[in-house]
Structure 1
């Protein structure tokens, strides 16, 4: 809804009170056009004028008002929160994690770490180590660990 000419005159009068400008009907028409194009509301425009003069000393122009209103609207939109979504079920989480592991190429490896390794004795959650007894971790898991996982599940 556009501002009325009387509302725009009141806006210009508020600006005049701050900066002692001389404003005629041409200013009212110009501000009316800007208000319509930028969809100002009266309350937003009044607040923008007061904010402008609380922070700055230069003559306010319609572009200043539009910028302040736009910033306030953007800020208000960003502060609105979306409602929280329901927690995912365990099945949904498992499927999502399987997709992630598959995309990363680590699915079977990560699943295998859930069981102890029959070949090297690595505990669940631990990386397999070399069979010679050195504690140098392997990059992959022993195949027997994958077999143990399939038996366990």
Structure 2
């Protein structure tokens, strides 16, 4: 069953709005609380405290926030490839980090965030690509 394009568009616009609020907020207090929650989930799943660190939780959260953009974008624009979405994620992430560094005094830009966001963009697009290939083979 295919999802109607208007639903994909709505989901993409809502997610981009959430991203804008999170990534361009003047402070990162809420984001830090989310990182702690991700870490706690890891601990409850059985990861050791040495594995489920705040640094790793932040990396995973940063990867996860851009994956829906590239996944939804891949569904909306079928001709874009995973390589395109990886580049788009890199450019967007770099732009956000530069904005934070230049205009948000209580935020700290990070190249690690750029790497995580870029990997998230890659992951979202790859999931769609893999599903498409599996569906083609089974058809």
Higher helix proportion: 2
Task: Say which one has the larger Rg.
Answer: 1
TM-score range, shorter chain: under 0.3
